[in-house]
Amino acid sequence: MSSRAGGPGGRRDGRSRRSGRNRLRGWAGRHALTVLAVATAAILAVMLYLPVGIVFSQAVFSEGTPTLSAFRAVLADPFYTGALAGVLADPLAIGAHVEGVLEWLRAGAPVPRMGLFGFTAYQAALSTVASVLLGLPAAYVLATYEFRGRRTIRSLTILPFVLPGIMVAVGFYAMFGRDGTLNAALDFAGLGPVDFIGYSPLAVVIVAHAFYNAPLVARVTLAAWESVDRRAVETARSLGAGPGRAFRDVVVPQLLPAVLTGALLTFVFTFMTFPIVLALGGLGLATVEVWIYDRISQLAVAEAATLAVLETVLTLGLTYAYLRYESAQAGMSRGDASPAREPLFPDLRTALSARRLAVLAYGAVAVVVFVGPMASMVVGGVTDGGGFTLRHYRFLAERQATGAAYQTLPWPAIRNSLLFGVATLAVALPMGVTISVLTVRSRWGTAIDALAMVPLAVSGVVFGIGLLEGLVFGTDIGGFRLQVTGAAAIVAAHAVAAYPFVVRNVSPLLADLDPALVESARALGASRARALLDVELPLVASGIVAGAAFAFAISIGEFSSTVILASGSDAYTMPVAVERYLGRRNGPAIAMGTVLLVVTAASFVVVDRVGGRFEA
Amino acid sequence: MTELALDGVSKAYDETTALRDVSLAVADGEFFTLVGPSGCGKTTTLRTIAGFEEPTAGEVRFDGESVTGLGPEARDVGVVFQNYALFPHMSVAENVGYGLKFRDSGTASSEARIEELLELVDLSGMGEREPSQLSGGQQQRVALARALAPEPSLLLLDEPMSALDARLRESLRRQVKRIQSELSITTVYVTHDQEEALAISDRLAVMNEGRVEQIGTPEAIYRRPRTRFVAEFVGDNNVLAGEVRGREDDRLRVGVDGGEFAIGDPVADSGRDSGDRDGGVESAPSPGDRIIFCVRPEALREDAETNRVRVSVEGQEFHGESVRVDGRWGETPIVLRLPDVPTHEELTVGFEPEAAHVVERE
């Protein structure tokens, strides 16, 4: 009894006194989450749904009346839909269409006209095949072999995803361009210079897409591979299956969904590709996204909006199909005993086995594709035809010193990028964490998750147009003029592009937390918000830090909407500066790209170091 | 201190009903247990008391005051979970002290209070350890100390022993019981382990499919189950169904399959213990009624003179102080608890009429 000071009456009074005095703080505590949720919803409404909605409404409304004529015009135009235009123009004339197909077959089935959408899908499909072909061996090597640097390479597979597209394009210029490292190597071998990009821009674009997406394919496949329960394979072996058979019967079925996931994501990403095609292919290789950008530049906004809607519908449809598929796969179990890895080079004899040689050959290809462009860019920044030079950096310095105000200066680009990055963090982190909490803990979690993931399915260009139309030019809402311009608009765009990555990093950790932890805190007297602050956030700190690294890198590298919002202003960022230099002066662009690489890598390393402290 | 009452509490989720009209009253300082198979609603009941769930109907009252609508932080309850739920990023002392932050007392007294609590659960001097450095039993004692630190009016324990091994479970449950009666804190304990429930509780409620089947002292629940479910769930039992053929001298003659048994009159039986509302049948069954009655394994003895049946032995488990025998009387499975290993494949056992208990009408 000694520990229970205060008799029955005292305790009763204590309870009511507490609840009385803390009523105000209690209200704030109870409703802090609601307040955050409302603020997040408001930001999303203004910065995401309104702009995207405006783009959609421009496609559907013509001078105030709803019409589908814009869609009909696009769909029936062979320039857009190629050989399908006739079918789409009059879908019910089935007889004529069948006749058309037969005629086409009689003519020996020549390659039909693809149109803009067809070509976009075609290059996306080729890019997907290339990414899968390049990604699967990496997953195999990382899952099967143990070697020095395996863990480092495994973590590095996340890197391409956050590398600015325009920088990757510059890297490919530095490697495959007329003055690139590949030509320097050929020259060394006594072979003449080859204009790779001029000869087959499509091939270079596809390799650049593979640079981006093969690591993604490798990553998701590897994750599935590592979760295969070794005991399942061992059981199959003990039941009489040989190693190959056990692999086919036990491992492959568990890898397939992951491979399909990687392939589908690759297709969606490359379907929406923009900076790489813009920089490497130009209008000659125009994809839907590039063409939308061009239409905007020509002020043909309605047409751009129509294209944007069609593109979004296509990618959203694919994403939805993928989510349905993913939820159907959700029952797959995670194993406790992950597969054992064997040493890559145990001794000299096995080093020359066919399998090891194949691994080596793949390694060589991987070095060319993944390391080549980045190394070429760094090297290209300090060389010209003759040898080592600081000319390109000197150009940047001189431009900074003497450039006119209307010219693109290096320092403002770097400064803007860093400022926007920090501002993006300040907005995207609270948003992302709030959405994570709502997704994981609330009853409408799935719906909130789907709504909040819209930015992943809406392309940067579409979003940029929406922001331009809706916020930069301004919108009247009930007599109140809503206008967001310049830096604020760019930060908003970056934050909206970045917060899904915070959500994606925080939600899984949050979902893994034992709900009893929060309940214990609450039973001990903590309000919901206090429990979030005291218990949940410290325990998902590593996810928040990782999310922050992504958010910062996304902001630094964002190109599509920034290039639209920054046009004609001095709010340009490093990627925009790179694009502006590119074409006119490749040397400075490559130098600027190197600076971008350094800043991106440095921010990633810094955040990674900070994050390392939190990971127990 | 605190009396707890649940009054007609129901809880419906989107498609399922978790609790159906649960009413119970826990006296001040009582150790009360909710026991039942998984999914019976015992944990939902506890969570409703704690304020993690709101009932769809009915009321929870602390000392007669409704706590409906109060969040868990305002209910002044201490909760211990099965998996301890210690905050992994805080030391043992920080865990125990967490709830004190929301009380009026100052820091100095907090430290003293933390040490006092650690002493109470035999963990003196462990305050600086991380939870991950402790064994499961130690972690659970930290969780108990943490729940008790703010001097809650009610202690709620949700399967606190399930993750521990059998021997540790027994010593820890004695410790919990000792601390509970030292503090005389009103306690609700949830477990699926009927043996644990019988051992630890002042009273218990047996739950099944969201309903309370029976409330009573461990002895009443064990000896006089009111429903077939309770008879089968609590302890080993032989539950038989038969037809009343006649009654004479406070005895019923009950025909079961090919045999006939003489069993004690249920009305006289329940009259022996007027305190508990546990007479399964209020009025005496008359000839022609079908009833369910039970005979505990330990009541079936080879030297009993009445109600003798031949049982074929099908399996046996040696328990040290007794031997559990699984057998069959005709088609009916029979459980026996004998002092020695049976030497024959067939045994003849019987039971005193008063050892049988009429559970309910069929």
Looking at chain A, which residue has its C-alpha nearest residue B112?
Answer: A3
pLDDT at B178: 93
CA A305, A310, A311, A316 dihedral sign is: positive
Please name the residues between 472 and 531 in chain A that touch chain B, using a CB distance below 8 Å.
514, 516-517, 519-528
- CATH number of the B228-361 domain: 2.40.50.140
With contact defined as beta carbons under 8 Å apart, do B83 and A516 qualify?
Answer: yes
pLDDT at A607: 60
Cβ-defined contact of B50 to A519 (cutoff 8 Å): yes
pLDDT per residue over B20-73, tens digit each?
999 999 999 999 999 999 989 999 999 999 998 899 999 999 999 999 888 888
pLDDT at B337: 93
pLDDT at B181: 92
With contact defined as beta carbons under 8 Å apart, do B160 and B140 qualify?
Answer: yes
A27, A30, A524: which to substitute to probe chain B, counting the most B Cβ within 10 Å?
A524
B103 vs A5: CA distance, rounded Å? 14
Provide the pairing of β-strand B17-26 with B186-191: unpaired
Cβ-defined contact of B87 to A14 (cutoff 8 Å): no
Q: What is the mean pLDDT of chain A?
A: 78
Cβ-defined contact of A521 to B87 (cutoff 8 Å): yes
Q: Which of A41, A47, A70 is nearest to A58 (CA)?
A: A70
For residue B78, give the nearest of A15, A523, A534 by CB distance: A523
Residues whose CB is less than 8 angstroms from the CB of residue A501 and which lie 6 or more positions away in sequence, other chains included: A432, A547, A550, A551, A554
Cβ-defined contact of B73 to A526 (cutoff 8 Å): yes
Q: Which of A206, A227, A220, A213 is nearest to A259 (CA)?
A: A220
- CATH number of the B4-223 domain: 3.40.50.300
SS3 at position B31: strand
pLDDT at B59: 94
Cβ-defined contact of B83 to A1 (cutoff 8 Å): no
CB atoms within 10 A of CB A260: 17
B71 contacts in chain A (CB < 8 Å): 30, 522, 527-528
In the block, which residue shows the tokens 């199909």?
A: A321
For chain B, the residues whose C-beta falls within 8 A of a C-beta of chain A are 1, 50-52, 63, 71-79, 81-83, 85, 87-89, 98-99, 101-104, 116-117, 120, 143, 146-151, 153, 156, 182-185
Cβ-defined contact of B88 to A539 (cutoff 8 Å): yes
In this predicted structure, the answer to whether residue A5 has a pLDDT above a threshold of 50 is no
For residue A15, give the nearest of B50, B76, B87 by CB distance: B76
In this predicted structure, the answer to whether residue A332 has a pLDDT above a threshold of 60 is no
Cβ-defined contact of A12 to B63 (cutoff 8 Å): yes
Q: What are phi and psi of A180, to 5 degrees?
A: -75, 175
pLDDT per residue over A492-520, tens digit each?
888 988 888 888 788 888 888 888 999 99
Q: What are phi and psi of B241, to 5 degrees?
A: -115, 140
In this predicted structure, the answer to whether residue A2 has a pLDDT above a threshold of 60 is no
Q: Which amino acid is at B193?
A: D
A360 vs A363: CA distance, rounded Å? 5
Residues whose CB is less than 8 angstroms from the CB of residue A398 and which lie 6 or more positions away in sequence, other chains included: none
A1, A3, A614: which to substitute to probe chain B, counting the most B Cβ within 10 Å?
A3
Q: How far apart are the first and last CA of chain B?
A: 43
pLDDT per residue over B102-150, tens digit each?
876 555 578 888 999 999 999 998 999 999 899 989 999 999 999 999 8
Q: How far is B156 from chain A (nearest CA, A)?
A: 10
pLDDT at B278: 44
pLDDT at A339: 62
A221 vs A139: CA distance, rounded Å? 6
Q: What is the mean pLDDT of chain B?
A: 88
pLDDT per residue over A38-61, tens digit each?
888 888 888 888 888 888 887 777
Percent of chain A with pLDDT over 90: 6
Q: Which of A368, A363, A370, A315 is nearest to A161 (CA)?
A: A370
Cβ-defined contact of B72 to A523 (cutoff 8 Å): yes
pLDDT at A29: 60
Q: How far is A4 from chain B (nearest CA, A)?
A: 6
Q: Is A3 on the interface with B (CB under 8 A)?
A: yes
- Please, what is the Cα angle at B252 between B246 and B253, to 5 degrees? 60
In this predicted structure, the answer to whether residue A16 has a pLDDT above a threshold of 50 is no
pLDDT at A27: 62
A539 contacts in chain B (CB < 8 Å): 87-89
Cβ-defined contact of A524 to B99 (cutoff 8 Å): yes
A19 contacts in chain B (CB < 8 Å): 74
A11 vs A5: CA distance, rounded Å? 9
Q: Which amino acid is at B211?
A: R
> Is the model more confident about A10 or about A299?
A299
Q: How confident is the model at residue A609 (pLDDT cuts 50, 70, 90)?
A: low
| CA neighbours closer than 13 Å in the CB half-sphere of residue B87 | 29
Q: How far is A8 from chain B (nearest CA, A)?
A: 5
Looking at chain B, which residue has its C-alpha nearest residue A541?
Answer: B89
| CA neighbours closer than 13 Å in the CB half-sphere of residue B276 | 23
- Tokens standing for A66? 């709803």
A357 vs A345: CA distance, rounded Å? 11
Cβ-defined contact of B71 to A522 (cutoff 8 Å): yes
Q: Is B4-223's fold the same as B228-361's?
A: no
B89 vs B91: CA distance, rounded Å? 7
CB atoms within 10 A of CB A508: 13
pLDDT at B158: 93
Cβ-defined contact of A3 to B151 (cutoff 8 Å): yes
DSSP of B302-360: TT--SS-EEEEEEEEEE-SS-EEEEEEETTEEEEEEESS--SSSEEEEB--GGGEEEEE
Q: Tell me the domain boundaries of chain B.
A: 4-223, 228-361
CA A142, A146, A148, A151 dihedral sign is: positive
Cβ-defined contact of A522 to B78 (cutoff 8 Å): no
A312 vs A334: CA distance, rounded Å? 34
pLDDT at A504: 79
- Tokens standing for B172? 């820890």
Q: Which amino acid is at B351?
A: F
SS3 at position B21: strand
With contact defined as beta carbons under 8 Å apart, do A1 and B183 qualify?
Answer: yes
Sheet holding B31-35, edge to edge: B77-80, B154-158, B186-191, B31-35, B203-208, B211-216
In this predicted structure, the answer to whether residue A261 has a pLDDT above a threshold of 70 is yes
SS3 at position B251: strand
B29 contacts in chain A (CB < 8 Å): none
What ipTM did this prediction achieve? 0.80
pLDDT per residue over B155-183, tens digit each?
999 998 888 888 888 989 999 999 999 99
In the block, which residue shows the tokens 């994403």?
A: A319
pLDDT per residue over B145-160, tens digit each?
999 998 999 999 999 8
Cβ-defined contact of A524 to B150 (cutoff 8 Å): yes
In this predicted structure, the answer to whether residue B340 has a pLDDT above a threshold of 50 is yes
Looking at chain A, which residue has its C-alpha nearest residue B147?
Answer: A524
- Tokens standing for B34? 């909710």
SS3 at position B277: coil
Q: How far is B18 from chain A (nearest CA, A)?
A: 17
Q: How confident is the model at residue B15 (pLDDT cuts 50, 70, 90)?
A: confident
Name the most confidently modeled range: A195-209, B4-18, B169-183.
B169-183
pLDDT at B106: 54
For residue B98, give the nearest of A12, A521, A539 by CB distance: A521
pLDDT per residue over A153-201, tens digit each?
877 777 777 788 888 888 888 888 777 778 777 777 777 777 777 777 8
Helices (H) and strands (E) in chain B, counts: 9, 19
Cβ-defined contact of A524 to B78 (cutoff 8 Å): yes
Q: Residue B210 carries which DSSP code?
A: T
Question: Which domains are seen in chain A, by residue range?
Answer: 63-93 (no CATH), 114-288+335-389 (1.10.3720.10), 399-454+487-616 (1.10.3720.10)
Cβ-defined contact of B102 to A528 (cutoff 8 Å): no
Provide the pairing of β-strand B4-12 with B17-26: antiparallel
pLDDT per residue over B247-284, tens digit each?
877 788 999 988 889 988 766 554 444 444 444 566 77
pLDDT at B78: 92
Cβ-defined contact of A11 to B75 (cutoff 8 Å): no
A46 vs A466: CA distance, rounded Å? 11
Q: How far is B275 from chain A (nearest CA, A)?
A: 28
B54, B67, B73: which to substitute to probe chain A, counting the most A Cβ within 10 Å?
B73
Q: How far apart are the first and last CA of chain A?
A: 40
DSSP of A586-599: HHHHHHHHHHHHHH
Average pLDDT over residues A87-102: 77
Least confident of A129-138, A333-342, A449-458, A597-606: A333-342
Average pLDDT over residues B300-309: 90
In this predicted structure, the answer to whether residue A490 has a pLDDT above a threshold of 90 is no
Q: Residue A284 carries which DSSP code?
A: G
Cβ-defined contact of B116 to A3 (cutoff 8 Å): yes
Cβ-defined contact of A3 to B71 (cutoff 8 Å): no
What is chain B's length? 362
For residue B81, give the nearest of A30, A520, A526 by CB distance: A520
